[in-house]
Amino acid sequence: MPTLYTMPGTCALATNIAVAWLDAPIEVENMAYGDQKKDEYLAINPKGKVPAVAFEDGDVLTEAAAILSWLGAEYGTEGYARDKVLGRKEAEALSYLTSEVHADFGPHFAAKTYAESKDAQDEVKAAAYDKLRKHFDRLEANFEESDGDWYLLDRSFADAYLYVVTRWIEQTPLSIDDYPTLRSFRDRIQQDDGVKLALARQDMKPV
């Protein structure tokens, strides 16, 4: 049985939610913060990050978007978004959320990797918050335009990842209250049984 490695507070939550939604036969191993840098895990994923899926044959798959794509292809059913058009849109949404929105949280979580002095770090963070504000403006507008309950036409893995970034906003100077549609989405998805299960498996609680 494959093993999904997660850690509290990380984007691995999105893959954990996907596993729950699909009822996929995958073991979830939640590590304590810091364990991702220990030799035992580095032997599995030298990047020292989560998520990662370790297969019984020794192969390892990393990067959330890649894992979500594999999960959909391997375990997706008609109960999950298999429509071709929705599938293309989901790939686009996940690319945006993982490579742009997530990336722009970087200076907030690890300012020291972007600048050395405190003043320079503050400048990097301020620039990041400006970018994040634009992202959340766009995400809010997307929901308003679609006039639906989900990021796309139906529930997809993009919703799992969007839930992650709507949690992260609480750690920044930005406020979810400025984005009422996203706030409603977050409140609603937290009532989902699969999300509740994933949170519990990852030692996390609803916001």
Mean pLDDT, the chain, rounded, equals 91
CATH of domain 3-77+197-201: 3.40.30.10
Residue 184 pLDDT more than 80? yes
**DSSP notation for the chain:** --EEEE-TTSTHHHHHHHHHHHT-S-EEEEPPTTGGGSHHHHTT-TT--S-EEE-TTS-EEESHHHHHHHHHHHH--TTS---HHHHHHHHHHHHHIIIIITGGGHHHH-GGGT-SSHHHHHHHHHHHHHHHHHHHHHHHHHHHHHTSSSSSSS--HHHHHHHHHHHHGGGSS--GGG-HHHHHHHHHHTTSHHHHHHHHHTT----
Q: Is 84-192 assigned to CATH 3.40.1280.10? A: no
Give residue 85's pLDDT band: very low, low, confident or very high (50, 70, 90).
very low
Kindly report, as residue ranges, where domains of CATH 1.20.1050.10 are found in the chain.
Answer: 84-192
- The per-residue pLDDT for 86 is 55
Q: With 0.75 as the threshold, say if the pTM is over it.
A: yes
